[in-house]
Amino acid sequence: MALLIAERKPSLLLLALLAGNLVLMSSRLRGGGRGSLLQDSVLAIGAPFLGAASWVAGGVGGTWSSYVDLRGAAQENARLHQRLTVLAEQANAGEETRQELARLRDLLGLKAGTPFETVAARVIGKESAEGARVFLIDRGRADKIRPNQPVVTPRGVVGRVIDVSASASKVQTILDPNSAVAAIVQRTRVQGIVVGAGENGLRMEYVSDLVPIEVGDVVVTSGLDQIHPKGGILGIVVAVGQGDGLTQVIEIRPEVDFRRVEEILVVLKPEGDPGEAAQ
Amino acid sequence: MKSLRALLAIGAAALAQVLLVGHLPALARYCDLFLIVVVYFGLTRPPATAMTTGAGAGLVEDALIGSILGLNGFKKTLLGYLVASFGALFMLNQTVPRFGILFLATVLDPFVELGLSLALGRAFDIPGALDLVWRGLGNGVFGLLFFWVAARLP
């Protein structure tokens, strides 16, 4: 009946609803905030909505926050990975610099101990399949490099310059089978010729069998070839065998690791040095 | 069935409004979902349904936002009646007229509250014109979206 009246006379329903709301408002204002029964009822009806809304809001908010955090974590992860790559590259560059510095310090020490003028050079290429018979260095005629100048590292003798261009030179290492260096066994002072044996290292020939040579003896340059200064370390004796006639053949392990040589020192011998004529 | 739809609409509006206020407060300022529900019922249902929906939505809004109980109930009841009466006189089932009604209802809402506050001896600051325009535009856009969604519900 009431619904029918409300449908036909909406203005009556409007008045009733407005009046109801006014009563609610006035009772609230009169009561100084204390709720009436009607108000409590409305609040009781609204409370589940509020609870549900808070629950949904909390859930959605939590999910959203997790999603945002996850996105942030992913972005931060990518950023940190990038940073890590950069730092790894920097660390690697730093390590390279540190090692280079150590090598150059050694070279500098050697330079100070050499009576001749020297030029430091960087190995920029290696010829031969074994990779250690001929080096290409980044110094040439402009740096006073000349053929037959000896080449050394702090570990020992590397070889000699065999070809020079304006800004680069070729160095024949003592491993080259065509290389021959006048040498002496440090302990016994017996002389011989050290020739290259490629990957097998060095071989000392024409050594008298009257003098006993022992494994572990140090072999150095004798200076008699007028190319290499006297006393440069060539290597350590690793085996001693019988040669032709009255000689013995000695196998030597070079002191220089030719596969890892990066910087060398070229000893600049004075113009008119007999070594130059020996070429 | 009509009452159930109205209850569901009010409940959905309450949930969405709480979510908006909690997580997108800047957007919530320009989106009054209770008002949109009332306008929707005003344009698609008889005045009696629009008014009862308005009263219910207003009271729930009062309960949710903690204002004087009956204040929004009064406003939304009156708006429901006015929109339903207006809708009975004119064809308002197109996008532009609906947008206009949503806009007008938004602008009218604070003026009804101003009148009530004057009658009850309460202080009330009416929003600025630009703010009202933005609210009207916001409710217009969200209201049209609500109409679009509601038209596709079973």
Q: Does B78 touch chain A (CB under 8 A)?
A: yes
From first to last of the 154 residues of chain B, give the pLDDT tens digit. 667 888 888 888 887 887 777 777 788 888 899 999 999 999 988 888 899 999 999 988 887 776 778 888 999 999 999 999 888 888 887 889 999 999 999 999 999 888 888 887 777 777 788 888 999 999 999 999 999 988 887 7
Report the gap between the CA of A73 and the closest CA in chain B (Å).
21
Q: What gap in Å lies between CA A112 and CA A92, rounded to an integer?
A: 30
Touching B: A residues 26-45, CB under 8 Å: 26, 28-29, 35, 39, 42-43, 45
Report the gap between the CA of B97 and the closest CA in chain A (Å).
24
ipTM (interface predicted TM): 0.83
**Per-residue model confidence (pLDDT) at position A73:** 86
From first to last of the 279 residues of chain A, give the pLDDT tens digit. 556 666 667 788 888 888 888 888 877 666 555 555 555 665 666 666 666 666 776 676 677 777 778 878 888 888 898 888 888 888 888 888 888 887 777 777 677 767 778 888 888 887 755 556 888 888 888 888 999 999 998 889 999 998 888 888 889 999 988 899 999 999 999 999 999 988 788 999 989 888 899 999 999 999 898 899 888 999 999 999 887 778 898 999 998 988 888 889 999 876 555 444 333
Sequence-ordered list of residues with C-beta below 8 angstroms from that of A66, at least 6 positions apart, any chain: none
Question: Considering only CA atoms, which of B115, B114, B54, B119 is closest in space to residue B82?
Answer: B54
Residue A32 near residue B69, CB atoms below 8 Å: no
Residue B142 near residue B105, CB atoms below 8 Å: no
Q: Which of A49, A64, A65 to mutate to test the interface with B (most CBs of B within 10 A)?
A: A49
Q: Which of B69, B72, B116 to mutate to test the interface with A (most CBs of A within 10 A)?
A: B69
Closest in A14, A35, A52 to B81, CB measured: A14
Question: Considering only CA atoms, which of B40, B17, B31 is closest in space to residue B151?
Answer: B40
Closest in B23, B54, B55 to A61, CB measured: B23
Q: Does B88 touch chain A (CB under 8 A)?
A: no
Q: What gap in Å lies between CA A182 and CA A193, rounded to an integer?
A: 5
Q: Does B42 touch chain A (CB under 8 A)?
A: no
Q: Does B48 touch chain A (CB under 8 A)?
A: yes
Q: Which helix (H) or strand (E) holds B101?
A: helix B95-120
**Per-residue model confidence (pLDDT) at position A274:** 47
Q: Does B68 touch chain A (CB under 8 A)?
A: yes
Closest in A20, A22, A49 to B64, CB measured: A49
Alpha carbon A220 to chain centroid distance?
35
Q: Does A231 touch chain B (CB under 8 A)?
A: no
CB contact under 8 A, B69 and A3: no
**Per-residue model confidence (pLDDT) at position A53:** 64
Q: Which amino acid is at A216?
A: G
CB contact under 8 A, A21 and B74: yes
- The backbone torsions φ and ψ at residue A222, rounded to the nearest 5 degrees and listed phi first, read -95, -20
**Chain B CA closest to residue A64:** B23
pLDDT in tens, B136-150: 999 999 999 999 988
Q: What gap in Å lies between CA B102 and CA B116, rounded to an integer?
A: 21
CB contact under 8 A, B64 and A25: no
Q: Does B33 touch chain A (CB under 8 A)?
A: no
Q: Tell the residue number behind the tokens 């010829």, with chain if given.
A: A127
CB contact under 8 A, B23 and A64: yes
Q: Does B87 touch chain A (CB under 8 A)?
A: no
Alpha-carbon separation of residue A155 from A27, A127, A234, A263 (angstroms): 104, 21, 9, 12
Q: Does B7 touch chain A (CB under 8 A)?
A: no
CB contact under 8 A, B15 and A28: no
Residue A188 near residue A213, CB atoms below 8 Å: yes
Report the gap between the CA of B18 and the closest CA in chain A (Å).
6
Q: Does B52 touch chain A (CB under 8 A)?
A: yes
Q: What gap in Å lies between CA A277 and CA A272, rounded to an integer?
A: 8
CB contact under 8 A, A49 and B60: yes
Residue A172 near residue A197, CB atoms below 8 Å: no
Q: Does B79 touch chain A (CB under 8 A)?
A: no
Residue A14 near residue B81, CB atoms below 8 Å: yes
**Per-residue model confidence (pLDDT) at position A240:** 92
Q: What gap in Å lies between CA B31 and CA B27, rounded to an integer?
A: 6
Residue A171 near residue A135, CB atoms below 8 Å: yes
Contacts of A23 in chain B (CB under 8 A): 70
CA angle A65, A55, B136 (to 5 degrees): 80
CB contact under 8 A, B63 and A43: yes
Residue A107 near residue A137, CB atoms below 8 Å: no
Report the gap between the CA of A39 and the closest CA in chain B (Å).
7
